[in-house]
């Protein structure tokens, strides 16, 4: 079901606000390097983990220690594959620009015109909570 015009405007506003608040995160989400390669690597990693688990259980069931060790090593390799699939993103190309109407992504001193980031708000809440409790 397509979005209504009102919903599309709201989504665009949310995108602009995200880009203005955290341009690095927003650009990483808009990366033109699709997730197809990472999904494939993650799926391969999960299969290797499952095969390693099978080998580990087989090694324990037959009391053949080298098979269990090999299964454990396969599980570690699969885990590294899955981890690298989710963290191995390259740099974002320069052609990936901010959406129209977004603020300049160059970092500057926080001022009244810039909204505070999520972590700043959380730290302020934490500080207020600690001050109220004492």
> Structural domain boundaries of the chain?
35-88
Locate the DSSP E strands across 10-124.
none
Taking only the tens place, the pLDDT of each residue in 93-106 is 444 444 455 444 44
**pLDDT tens string 14-65:** 888 888 888 777 777 665 455 556 888 889 999 999 999 999 999 999 999 9
Neighbours of 44 (CB within 10 A): 14
* Residue partners of 68: CB distance under 8 A and separation at least 6: 55, 56, 58, 59, 60
CA-to-CA distance for 23 and 105, rounded, in angstroms? 6
Q: Is the pLDDT of residue 77 over 80?
A: yes
Q: What pLDDT sits at residue 38?
A: 81
Instruction: Look over the chain and give the mean of its residue pLDDT values, rounded to a whole number.
Output: 76
Q: How far apart are CA 79 and CA 47, in angstroms?
A: 10
- Rounded to the nearest 10 degrees, the angle between the axes of helix 65-87 and helix 36-62 is 160
Cβ–Cβ < 8 Å for 41, 81? yes
Unique residue bearing structure tokens 């699709």: 34
């Amino acid at each position: 079901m397509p979005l209504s015009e009102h919903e599309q405007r709201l989504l665009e506003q949310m995108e602009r606000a995200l880009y203005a608040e955290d341009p690095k995160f927003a650009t990483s989400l808009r990366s033109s390097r699709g997730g197809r390669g990472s999904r494939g690597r993650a799926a391969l990693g999960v299969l290797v983990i499952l095969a390693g688990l099978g080998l580990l259980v087989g090694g324990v069931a037959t009391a053949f220690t080298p098979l269990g060790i090999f299964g454990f090593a396969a599980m570690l390799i699969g885990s590294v594959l899955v981890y690298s699939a989710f963290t191995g993103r390259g740099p974002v190309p320069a052609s990936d620009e901010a959406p129209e109407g977004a603020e300049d992504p160059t970092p500057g001193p926080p001022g009244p015109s810039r909204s505070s980031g999520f972590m700043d708000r959380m730290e302020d809440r934490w500080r207020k909570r600690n001050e109220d409790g004492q």
